[in-house]
Amino acid sequence: MAASVILASRSPRRRLLLEQLGIPFKTVDIELNEAWDGKESARAYVSRVALAKALAGWQKVKDSTSLPVLGADTVVVLDDEILGKPRDKEEALRMLAALSGRSHAVYSAVALAGPIQAVRVNVSRVSFCPLSEAERLAYWETGEGLGKAGGYAIQGRAAAFVDRIEGSYSGIVGLPLRETAQLLHLAGVLCSRRSGEDSVSHVSDERHDQ
């Protein structure tokens, strides 16, 4: 089936989520500086980065296709601070300790670039049960939290840490499907029962982001 949209992401989770909508798509690999300056609000940050990803993808493919490009970004926020991807064991354990027994926000933005440009943001809340030092260390040793925003992956073993979710599970994983469907509708792309994935140049199979 011919693709209806291009996903500017290396994330296997975002690919699987887009497949849930029954949207045939291609992927394009992009490189982007995602640094947070420590001052920008979480909403502004994820909106900017998601749109920058979509625009970077559009720049790569616009000469060969008129398909719209989707970009997405997701961050974990605790006490107004964005928790990025831990650089090492110490930072990962510190993040898990901070999240333990508390509720945090997950901001997930999806952006559309091409003939139409638009951004949608979903905000969800995740409440963790208290985590012992042994639990935090055992989770780190699985390797699952490395490269994930906030140091955890809710779709994996960290699901056992979750006491309550308010909002969009797909948004917490990395691609809010309701907002994605709204953007695709703007571009004239409707969800169907069939799905598929092709590849274009610059594709990379793996990237670990929340």
210 domain-assigned: no
| pLDDT number for residue 88 | 92
CB 187 within 8 A of CB 114: yes
107 pLDDT exceeds 70? yes
| DSSP strand pairing (103-113 vs 69-78) | antiparallel
Q: Which residues pair with 5 in a beta bridge?
A: 25
**CATH number of the domain to which 58 belongs:** 3.90.950.10
What are the catalytic residues?
A: 73
205 domain-assigned: no
| pLDDT number for residue 192 | 55
208 pLDDT exceeds 50? no
pLDDT digits over 90-104, tens only?
A: 999 999 999 999 999
208 domain-assigned: no
Q: Which domain holds residue 45?
A: 5-199
Euclidean distance between CA atoms 117 and 81, whole angstroms: 28
| pLDDT number for residue 1 | 63
CB 68 within 8 A of CB 113: yes
| pLDDT interval class at 210 (50, 70, 90) | very low
pLDDT digits over 128-187, tens only?
A: 999 999 999 999 999 998 888 899 999 999 999 999 999 999 999 999 999 999 999 998
Cα angle: 68, vertex 74, 76; to 5 degrees = 170
CB 107 within 8 A of CB 123: yes
206 domain-assigned: no
124 domain-assigned: yes
164 domain-assigned: yes
183 domain-assigned: yes
Rounded to two decimals, what is the model's pTM?
A: 0.86
SS3 content of the chain, % helix, strand, coil (to 5): 35, 25, 40
45 domain-assigned: yes
CA proximity to 110, closest of 35, 186, 166: 186
Tally the domains of the chain. 1
